[in-house]
Structure 1
Amino acid sequence: MRITSLKVYEGNNIKRRKRIMNVFLENASDSEVKKYLKAYFRVSFLLGFKEQLVDIDREDNLVKLWVTYTQEELSKYLLNNILYNLDNSEKIAEKANSLIKEGFLYDIVAAFREKGLPVIDINEDLFQLGYGKNSIIIGKNYQSYENMVKVEVSRNRKSLWQHLRYSQIPKVEGRVLYSMEEIKDLENFKYPLNLRSIDKSMDIKITISDQEELNRVLKNMMNMYTRAFVYSGNVKYRLICFGGEVGLMLKKEGAYKVIEIKEKSLEVLELAEALDKLKKFCKMIYTSIPIEFMFIDLQEEEELKVTDLGCVFDVAEELKEVKDKVIDYFIYSLLKKNIGLIPIISVTGTNGKTTTSRLINYILLKLGYKSALTSTGGIFIAGRKIKNGDTTGFLSARDVLTNTEVDTAVMETARGGILKNGLGYEKAKAAVITSISEDHIGMHGIKSTKDLVNIKSTIIDEVDSGGKLIVKAQQELVECVQGRDNVCLYEVEKNTYIGEHIKNGGEAFYLEKDYIIYCKDKQEKKLLDVKSIPFTHGGISKGNIKNIMSAIAAVSTIYPNESEIISTIMELQCDLYFNPGRQNILDFDKFKVILDYGHNAEAFHEVLSIGRSLNPTKLTAIIAAAGDRMDRHIKELGYISAQYCDDIIIREQADLRGRAVGESAGLIKQGIFEANFNEQNLKVILKEEDAIVYAMEHSQHGEVIVLFTQCLDVIIPEINRYLEKQGLPLIGQDLDLSH
């Protein structure tokens, strides 16, 4: 038995359980697996953590265990080492103990998570609380919301005292000693005296009761540290403040005792006058030393005097007895500052997810939000592209959510990303599933459409309470949201699923006489004429009509003003600039070219029907298939094309995905001939740039050429070379075609 892989899933995933690990065991018997799991749970319990088994999957000679974890590095250590020491769990627990993260910082993180608020682990000792604009970073020695210069001043008693003196803030008498000779200068100081290190990080705190003890201790201290800080008297109050407001008052009675300020107890009433004075004193200090989460230690004789102050994180160890109260107050203060979630809209589906995500992001930007988009075409922040590539997974979501400029986020969420790392966000405002069809069947353990639905519907289980589930009204998707609240169905046709849904008062979008209709609580409302929207190509793009429906539904969860949402899309074009590679219709006078990313049956039907709706004199399609698809799905693309087209050119993708050269093309050809297509109207040109040039050079007046492509960076330059030869205007010269 050995471990071949260990994957961490921090966010929601196909097992619908956050913070789990997937351990791949090779050649493991049932008894070995049982013993291994028992040891993991036992050692975890010994260390103070209660872990659980989530699921067991079996595939050939692999056993895939899904188990919970609390602290990632600790569980990784245990799972890797227990395997080879199944009978020595106590020794493993002893070694693993050093990996446990405990204390004030980690208790805050745990409390934040327990309240259902998002936390991002930046590293083992640095955490982001909240998302985007509504986030802060906390660590033991750094907090992003703090004035760290003032915090550093407070960490040195000499600089702190100088600052207090300059600001005329009442403080106890204190001074820095550089030699034993200076003891005589302490004659006016009252005992007990307090000896402290200048640098608070050294944490030297000694209380002196008489002259003899002072001589002895000071001599040792000077030998070790060269300097010492001394002041007299005892602390009476410790205030815990946030933003200059007193939240907790701790009274020094041996250990600290919390006095609940909000209570109407006798103790609070007796201290009412003192409390008012303390609050004013706190505000005065905050004006001079603006430390957000601040402790202030005070003596009280004739007047209040500071004995120490600084960041609460710096005295966390002294607050163990009142830790929970301090943490509750800290989180309460953060929530008042809106630290927590930002509106997130997640979009998945077989087809339409990229266009829908772009639409939603565009609308939000037009409405004034600093929206972020993760998509197949890269990451965008407030309309600026910051990263190329297919950015639809866990890490891309984290890139967006750790950007403090972002106030809303649109997450295109792909099947592969969910399987690989799970979701990179929590509690979306809306989840959109655009469609489900038989794409990716036979890949990564996906055996059926039901498996696809199970993967993609992960986003439905990560919608915040009150959030909306927006799904295309097709059987598989309607079934997966059955019995859930806040479901919105949409489809071009008012089918039986929509009919039943609106009959029960549900929310839906559909098309009637070229108008998008919105229905809720059995009340219908005409929204817009699809023929008047350029984005739908005059109403012939059924796919883009549905994309608009789902976008309106999603954005309305954040900005509930339909008329303003609709006005943002009235002039929007489905062109290379806004929606590159998705239903782009290029008009070159003599002929038209449609560029589309489509690579499955549903997309082929959609795009080729658009081509036919343009009433061409001839329809030519340049088609290919991903080599990792099942043979029958590759053949199907040929069959569908033959039903729509007059001429077909078969090409192959540069990445053959495990197929031999010409193999995918051969399967497509079989599908074409099954539809009794005329062989004379079929050509095979394997390189897509050669195929598009051939099609344009042999085009006839009124022809429509459909090219299914993922490589605009290759195709646009080839089209422009052709146009240049013909003396025609070039296209997309200022486009960023990187990917």
Structure 2
Amino acid sequence: MKLDQLLQDIPFHHEDPPKFDEVVIHGLTDSSHRVEPGFLFVAISGYQLDGHAYIQDAINNGAAAIIGEKDYQVTKVPYIQVPNSKQALGILGRNYYQNPASHKIMIGITGTNGKTTTSYLVKHILENMGYTCSLLGTIQNVINGEYSKTVNTTPNALTLNQLIDKSDDEVVIMEASSHGLAEYRLEGLNFDLCLFTNLTHEHLDYHGSIDQYYEVKKALFRKLKPNGTAVINSDDAYGEQLAKELKQDGLRTYTLGMSAANDLQILEHLSVDPPSCRFKGHHIHTLHSPMAGIHNLYNTLQAYAAAMQLDGEAETVLESIRGFPGVPGRFTTYSLKNGATVVVDYAHTADAVFNCLQTVQEAEAKKITHIFGFRGNRDQTKRQEMMNITAEMSDQFILTMDDLNGVPQGDMEQVLTSYLNHTKFGQGELIPDRTLAIKTAIDNSKPGEWIVITGKGHEEYTQSYSLPTYTDEDTVNYVRKNEISEAN
């Protein structure tokens, strides 16, 4: 592809775009190590590394042209300066792969909690409707029926276009994280449906304030195609605000919630376990959530609404929902031989922890033991609220290690100890080894009690522990197996 074709729609640092009609590009990358002869290298200014420092390496490896955002003198190959290299990478990726998203039904899902669950629900429903679906998200990527692990919830812009180009599926369902939106990873993509689940206290160490966090989330909806639709949970305060602003801008919106002003109105909640409701769209229907918790009822309603925007038939969609198998690491339950129950959940925000513990309370647990920790170098402003919630809603809690992210374990133990010393409610203890914290809770459990393990869900441990296990689910199964063996 000629360089001029790649540069189409790229904003340049200078008003007059350069002309490079004779330069042919054979590949595109933002890693100097992956540069091959004829490649275009995009220098990205990152948090730890600055791609501009590797421009000469890229040239030595055969780069035919360089794009960067800093003043830089290059003599052997063209250097094109742009205002924002990350933004440029998205447009370049779209151009290089000839806008693969334009041939798909694109569905983007954003919000603090519920993105993964909603994405799996949407995929399940649409596949029952006859669509083939790719899924790009937190747990894994699924493309052409093949599964692969993910590094980030939202991959970088170049990888996204590569994945979409690889997909032969009709629909691409994508989790859109706030980091991904802020880092321009979705630049150049346009969506047929954008879903908003909710917005609560999270990632403020990165975004600075809840209002800035909201503005980043809202950016997804600026990527709707001309006939695209926003599906919004208006029972969330920020969702209500988002719907109002999008309507003012003339964008198509479909809202769900308790108010009669919604396109899908929740008329009444019929039961708590499992959660269900009567709602009114064109007609009155009853929806039974396949998962515990009122928060999952909203996730299910959003998936229903998304399917209806793609010409789903109400009864067929509702029947499909009843057969949903669940999501790995999202309120996964295990029954112990002694009659206790264990829950493994990804909840790592105050709101998600509240929903998780509330669901267990509604199951009439005789006692709730909550096991969780805090991630190092992550949003510290949410920690006290999480402590308050678990202290009020659980009978016992165990603080343990989560991902340290470079923080020395001794320092994190001091942090956890300080929270224990200032907790006014409930009984808490510190067991730093996560696997031993889980084993201790299971060993001490009794019939009718629940053990809730939050924060990791499907994720693998990033440090070694005493038991030979790699995830919370793995640890629970290991202890259960030994429990059964000892009982025999």
Q: Same fold judged by TM-score > 0.5?
A: yes
2 CA distance for matches of 1:518 and 1:475? 20
Q: Any residues of structure 2 matched to 1:178-327 within 5 Å, and which? A: none
AA at the equivalent of 1:555: A
2 CA distance for matches of 1:562 and 1:672? 50
- Shift in CA distance, 651/129, structure 1 to aligned 2, threshold 3 Å: same
Q: Does 1:727 align with 2:488?
A: no
AA at the equivalent of 1:570: R
Q: Deviations over 1:265-290 (max 9, x none)?
A: xxxxxxxxxxxxxxxxxxxxxxxxxx
Q: Could you tell me which of 274, 299, 313 is aligned with 1:561?
A: 313
Secondary structure of the 1:436 match is: coil
Secondary structure of the 1:556 match is: helix
Equivalent residues of 1:648, 1:682 under 8 A apart? yes
Q: Deviations over 1:69-123 (max 9, x none)?
A: xxx9878279544xx69xxxxxx9x9859x9xxxxxxxxxxxxxxxxxxx98569
Equivalent residues of 1:77, 1:96 under 8 A apart? no
2 CA distance for matches of 1:376 and 1:400? 15
- Shift in CA distance, 671/632, structure 1 to aligned 2, threshold 3 Å: farther
1 CA distance for matches of 2:188 and 2:321? 28
Alignment match, 2:42? none
AA at the equivalent of 1:448: S
Secondary structure of the 2:98 match is: strand
CA positional deviation for 1:557: 2.0
- Shift in CA distance, 646/436, structure 1 to aligned 2, threshold 3 Å: same
Equivalent residues of 2:330, 2:345 under 8 A apart? yes
2 CA distance for matches of 1:449 and 1:556? 31
Runs of 4+ more than 3 Å apart: 18-21, 44-48, 72-75, 77-81, 94-97, 119-123, 126-130, 386-391, 515-520, 629-632, 662-675
AA at the equivalent of 1:548: T
CA positional deviation for 1:465: 1.8
Secondary structure of the 1:351 match is: coil
Alignment match, 2:172? 409
Q: Any residues of structure 2 matched to 1:319-338 within 5 Å, and which? A: none
- Shift in CA distance, 360/73, structure 1 to aligned 2, threshold 3 Å: farther
Secondary structure of the 1:617 match is: coil
AA at the equivalent of 1:588: L
Q: What TM-score does the superposition give when structure 2 sets the normalisation length?
A: 0.74
Equivalent residues of 2:243, 2:255 under 8 A apart? no
Alignment match, 1:714? 471
Q: Deviations over 1:324-369 (max 9, x none)?
A: xxxxxxxxxxxxxxxx431111011111101111111111222222
1 CA distance for matches of 2:214 and 2:167? 33
Alignment match, 1:41? 15
Q: Could you tell me which of 352, 363, 369 is aligned with 1:614?
A: 363
Alignment match, 1:470? 231
**Paired-residue identity, %:** 19
Alignment match, 1:643? 392
AA at the equivalent of 1:386: S
- Shift in CA distance, 343/670, structure 1 to aligned 2, threshold 3 Å: same
2 CA distance for matches of 1:78 and 1:467? 32
1 CA distance for matches of 2:114 and 2:69? 43
Alignment match, 2:256? 490
Secondary structure of the 2:183 match is: helix
- Shift in CA distance, 425/490, structure 1 to aligned 2, threshold 3 Å: farther
Q: Could you tell me which of 440, 443, 446 is aligned with 1:700?
A: 446
Q: Could you tell me which of 307, 313, 331 is aligned with 1:583?
A: 331
Aligned pairs, number = 410
Q: Could you tell me which of 430, 434, 438 is aligned with 1:688?
A: 434
AA at the equivalent of 2:295: G
CA positional deviation for 1:545: 0.3
Point out the structure with max Rg over C-alpha: 1
CA positional deviation for 1:727: 2.3
AA at the equivalent of 1:426: L
AA at the equivalent of 1:423: L
Alignment match, 1:155? none
Q: Could you tell me which of 523, 528, 535 is aligned with 2:286?
A: 528
CA positional deviation for 1:632: 3.6
Secondary structure of the 2:148 match is: strand
Q: Does 1:346 align with 2:346?
A: no
Equivalent residues of 2:65, 2:77 under 8 A apart? no
- Shift in CA distance, 360/637, structure 1 to aligned 2, threshold 3 Å: same
Equivalent residues of 2:371, 2:452 under 8 A apart? yes
CA positional deviation for 1:399: 3.5
Q: Could you tell me which of 560, 570, 574 is aligned with 2:322?
A: 570
Alignment match, 1:281? none
AA at the equivalent of 1:374: L
2 CA distance for matches of 1:717 and 1:560? 38
- Shift in CA distance, 622/526, structure 1 to aligned 2, threshold 3 Å: same
Q: Does 1:461 align with 2:216?
A: no
Secondary structure of the 2:15 match is: helix
CA positional deviation for 1:686: 1.1
CA positional deviation for 1:19: 3.8
Q: Does 1:430 align with 2:185?
A: no
Q: Could you tell me which of 263, 271, 276 is aligned with 1:507?
A: 263
Unaligned 5+ segments in structure 1 are: 1-9, 12-17, 22-36, 49-71, 86-91, 100-118, 133-339, 730-739
CA positional deviation for 1:470: 1.4
Structure showing greater relative contact order (alpha-carbon pairs closer than 8 Å, 6 or more residues apart): 2
Equivalent residues of 2:401, 2:433 under 8 A apart? yes
- Shift in CA distance, 488/673, structure 1 to aligned 2, threshold 3 Å: farther
Q: Does 1:355 align with 2:101?
A: no
CA positional deviation for 1:667: 4.2
AA at the equivalent of 2:100: Y
CA positional deviation for 1:716: 3.0
Q: Any residues of structure 2 matched to 1:670-685 within 5 Å, and which? A: 670-671=418-419, 674=422, 676-678=424-426, 681-685=427-431
AA at the equivalent of 2:98: L
Mean Cα deviation higher: 565-574 or 579-588: 565-574
Equivalent residues of 2:190, 2:223 under 8 A apart? yes
1 CA distance for matches of 2:480 and 2:133? 37
- Shift in CA distance, 604/398, structure 1 to aligned 2, threshold 3 Å: same
CA positional deviation for 1:560: 3.0
Equivalent residues of 1:617, 1:702 under 8 A apart? yes
1 CA distance for matches of 2:360 and 2:410? 27
Equivalent residues of 1:361, 1:371 under 8 A apart? yes
Secondary structure of the 1:636 match is: helix
1 CA distance for matches of 2:404 and 2:278? 44
AA at the equivalent of 2:170: D
1 CA distance for matches of 2:66 and 2:124? 42
Equivalent residues of 1:631, 1:667 under 8 A apart? no
Unaligned 5+ segments in structure 2 are: 1-5, 22-62, 81-89, 271-275, 461-469
- Shift in CA distance, 122/45, structure 1 to aligned 2, threshold 3 Å: closer
CA positional deviation for 1:436: 0.9
AA at the equivalent of 2:139: G
Q: Deviations over 1:170-215 (max 9, x none)?
A: xxxxxxxxxxxxxxxxxxxxxxxxxxxxxxxxxxxxxxxxxxxxxx
Secondary structure of the 1:466 match is: strand
AA at the equivalent of 1:342: K
1 CA distance for matches of 2:171 and 2:111? 21
AA at the equivalent of 1:431: C
CA positional deviation for 1:376: 0.5
AA at the equivalent of 2:253: V
2 CA distance for matches of 1:640 and 1:663? 23
- Shift in CA distance, 397/519, structure 1 to aligned 2, threshold 3 Å: farther
Mean Cα deviation higher: 694-703 or 550-559: 550-559
